[in-house]
Structure 1
Amino acid sequence: MMINHSSATEFYLLGFPGSQEIHHILFATFFFFYSVTLMGNTVIIVIVCVDKRLRSPMYFFLGHLSALEALTTSVIVPVMLWGLLLPGMQAISLAGCAAQLFLYLALGTTEFALLGAMAVDRYVAVCNPLRYSIIMNSHACNWVVIVSWMFGFLSEIWPVYATFQLTFCKSNQLDHFYCDRGQLLKLSCNDTLFTEFVLFLMAVFIIIGSLAPTIVSYTYIISTILKIPTASGQRKAFSTCASHFTFVVIGYGSCLFLYVKPNQKQAAEYNKIVSLLISVLTPFLNPFIFTLRNDKVKEALRDGMKRYCQLFKD
């Protein structure tokens, strides 16, 4: 236990409850998800870089989204897997905890900004196709990506700094598998009401702010698609947006439940479930969402496999 009024210099992650046998099963399950996530997102990045048919803004953004998904899950899952192998609590330093939380939030914020940009890209492609190549030129796309990454990392400096300015004297045991902000606030002996309110406002600004262009874009996209006279034309138009729309629903849905609420100190079990959705399930589904629902990506994958098999035979 911590001495009263002294701040923790390291934390112990409690991880998942249960016996060592259950932990081994969870380790095998999450290791499989993590391996597939890394391989799937890496494959997407490679084919976007090497296949000339995927040299368009949509796939340029997709490559960066896949990189963000791979990095986000790599910030959380290796620590979680190591904790499942250890017979007891896992120690993490104060600096390590701050770094993990910052990277996790910064990468997530960058992803939200990029998803909003991808929605605008789909709006231009569907609603203004004749000017698409002019509006979404390579210069504009590069700036969109640069601004998204800068916004993601700069916007999370103060929230993480404010969190670790608190005094953690109640305990040094975090009931989570990573350094979750809500659980950190529970350990503080300071009055965190103002900090929680500011963090809530920032979460609203980031998540709802990036969701707004998505909602507006898809309102115009759906309206435009419904005006297409043929059913085949409607299906073709919507197929260009289906993957992005599916990812938006999964990604925003889970994050809204976790971050956009005034009280950050919700139950640890609730936190763990939603965090697993964000850090494990969503990155795992990303390659399947963008390959199984996209004909160009599937075609590029098939051709790549054929070339690889041909080289192997030779």
Structure 2
Amino acid sequence: MLPTSRSRLLALVLAPLALAALHAGPAAAQSIAVIVNGQPILSSEVAARSALTKLSGGKATQGTLDELIDEKLKIMEAGRYNMLPPDSQVDAAYASIAQRMKLSADMFSKAIQQRGVNPQTLKDRIKAEIGWATLIRRKYAAVLAQKSVAMAMTTGGAGASNKATQYTLRQVIFVLPKGASDAQASQRRAEANGARGRFPGCDRAVEFGAALRDVAVKEPVTRSSAGLGKELAETLDKTKIGGLTEPQRGEQGWEMIAVCERKQIADDDAMRTNALEQVGSKEAEEKSKQYLAQLRSRAVIVHR
């Protein structure tokens, strides 16, 4: 499955795995289960993934090992094309999972470590899925776009529309120093939430930021809902004009978005986006399966 946004990727692939990790048992002894193109998969990795699979409602079978082999192949191939996400993006995604569970990244790491699960296991999973999704999208972008739009138009668009919402936005960042502790991050978030209720609107945003400690206010930008993704667009629609969204942990600190203006426009990108969402995911999934099957057929896989 290839989600159309990072939020769907986290929600549908990673979050259930993370939730299960909180209850996982101790890791197994270190030994090699299989070697994939010269790179080992440890028996402890297989045991950990099996435990997570069981606790998330699945059954631990040979499919667990196959899943890890596929994951290894995905990382290798995405790495070959320099499409693996940087550590900062992986850490941000990991922190996003923790945040949805009402924990900081460090608290979440400690929770799963207490159950014998190395946080790096989840981070490897994140890296594989983000890198693979990026590779498939870029490798087959033209083919998927043309075929998806053609199919949607042939069937009457199935609700596809060129109606979109145009937003004028400003980003407000409560900057966190690198290596900030959990206590510092929590305190900074509280400051962001407190200031959020006092935000005077976009026209006075710079003045607002200047009066606070280590707060950056970006220049206004105009964006269409067609390019923002459904989740973010829904959040912006719920935010009043002149208001700020809730703080979200980003690479620089706690980030909020001010909605300065919101209006309906005609945007052909919206129609293309709707069409892609309707039929593009299925096409992308087929391409992904075909590609992965090719990698499997060429791989040197040695079971121990």
TM-score range, shorter chain: under 0.3
TM-score (ref. length: structure 2): 0.28
TM-score (ref. length: structure 1): 0.27
The answer to which structure has the higher helix fraction is 1
